[in-house]
Amino acid sequence: MPTSPDRLHPNVPVIDQSDRRVPFNLRQSGPTPVQMLISTRVRKSPFWHLAVEAGCWRATVYNRMYHPRGYARPEEGGAMAEYRALVNGVTLWDVAVERQIRVKGPDAERFVDYVITRDATKIKPMHGKYCILCNEAGGILNDPVLLRPAEDEFWFSVSDSDLMLWLQGVNVGLRMDVEIAELDVSPLQIQGPLSEDLMVDLLGEAVRDIPYYGLMEAELEGCSILVSRTGFSGEKGYEVYVRDATYHAEAVWYAIRGHGARYGLRVIAPGHHRRIAAGILSWGQDMDAETSPFQVNLAWQVPRKKQGDYIGKTALETQRAQIEGGTYPFAQKLVGMKMGGQPITDYAPDFWLIRNEHDARIGFVTSPWWSPELETNIALGFVPWDYTALGTRLKVELPEIYREISGQPVEAEVCEVPFVASETPSSRERAFAAGKDASD
């Protein structure tokens, strides 16, 4: 078909992003063809040298830290070999990029309740919750796992943004009696169906009693750790938060690997292929500070019954009223899609473009991957509201290596999310498609 002028523009302005101040970059430039310079302003995790020792051969930068993104090389099966280890056995991830921002003090609960949309008073000590923090416009600033190790103490296990600086700035005006600072605490994730047996081997039978989002204090090789039953995979899993990680990283890492050998433990990169299948979102990829929770099926994170004020409440309640009144106040909404093409077995370097039935470009893919369980490619992506109904037929402009016919987009269909059930289905996953409200 003829090439229209908008197809030549490097950022594809025909796709409506009029509700954003800074549109997503849709340049479709492919892998970066230059050497990326990493300087001392990018931090190494306490586990970085151990990840390299374990075979890490590529990495990205996340939260201004080196972040392992590959251990199995392409000739060894690449990311899909790591996927098989995750869904069939047990795996170890270096996720020190999840920086721990502690809010501690007499006003900790009151402060946290003001900066998250959910009800912090309902998080009991030694428990946690998935939560979001929004700005005054209702944009999602972060979606951490929020841990409460003590009555007067919360840890934000943060996604890829400078949340600590924002929290400190908020309290300049509030002047609540809290201390807000990053801890020398670095988490590891142990994920997969054999994770519980390995954790019991490491720490004893008490591990079996940890509820979903529950916490347990423990020691491993004389090192103080906090264990949570959480993860980013959709498989059964735990996170091990190593205190004084700068000093204790090696002892904990080698203890886990030593005990894990009898379970076939494999060190892998974070399982984005599995989190996509579970419908778990990634901040900075599927949402950012200009994205409303109502755009990405996180309405359940905006409770109707929460008492008191919180940052973003006025904007979010206005958005809810507009939607319930039949007016969708955003240009795009996130949906799940099954799509054709050759198996996508690695990270996407771009937001691949989505077309409608008339071949017009209308949206973009944020998170694609191949699902072995469904034997098809799956993806999350943004499309206009009119194209969000289940069963809507679309097309996706995949890179040439993934296309079935050279030069032609592949067929796609809007479908339910999660794509594949999780071992421990959370309200987050069950609510994705329905956009249900949270009780708190």
Q: Count other Cβ atoms within 10 Å, centred on residue 235.
A: 24
Considering the segment(s) 185-263 as one domain, its CATH architecture is 2-Layer Sandwich (3.30)
Is the pLDDT score of 1 beyond 50? no
Q: How far apart are CA 133 and CA 341, in angstroms?
A: 37
Q: Which residue has the tokens 């003590």?
A: 150
In order of 134, 174, 312, 339, 413, the CA distances from 110 in angstroms are 16, 11, 16, 46, 44
Sequence-separated (6 or more) residues with CB below 8 Å from residue 39: none
Q: How far apart are CA 266 and CA 439, in angstroms?
A: 38
Is the pLDDT score of 29 beyond 80? no
Burial of 37 (0-12, 13-18, 19+ CB in 10 A): exposed
Q: How far apart are CA 107 and CA 111, in angstroms?
A: 6
Locate 307 and state its tokens: 């008492």
Distance of CA 75 to the CA centre of its chain: 28
Strand arrangement, sheet containing 179-182: 127-130, 145-150, 153-157, 100-104, 179-182
Q: What is the pLDDT of residues 369-378, one digit of tens each?
A: 999 999 999 9
User: What type of residue sits at position 370?
Assistant: W
Split at pLDDT 50, 70, 90, the class of 406 is very high
Q: What is the pLDDT of residues 178-215, one digit of tens each?
A: 999 999 999 999 999 999 999 999 999 999 999 999 99
Is the pLDDT score of 92 beyond 80? yes
The answer to whether residues 292 and 139 touch, using CB atoms and an 8 Å cutoff, is: yes
For CATH 3.30.1360.120, the residue range(s) in the chain are: 185-263, 280-430
Considering the segment(s) 280-430 as one domain, its CATH architecture is 2-Layer Sandwich (3.30)
The answer to whether residues 92 and 231 touch, using CB atoms and an 8 Å cutoff, is: no
The answer to whether residues 338 and 412 touch, using CB atoms and an 8 Å cutoff, is: yes
Q: What is the pLDDT of residues 206-244, one digit of tens each?
A: 999 999 999 999 999 999 999 999 999 999 999 999 999
Across all residues in the chain, what is the average pLDDT? 93
**Entry pTM:** 0.93
Q: Is 239 annotated as a binding residue?
A: yes
Is the pLDDT score of 30 beyond 80? no
Mean pLDDT of 430-440: 47
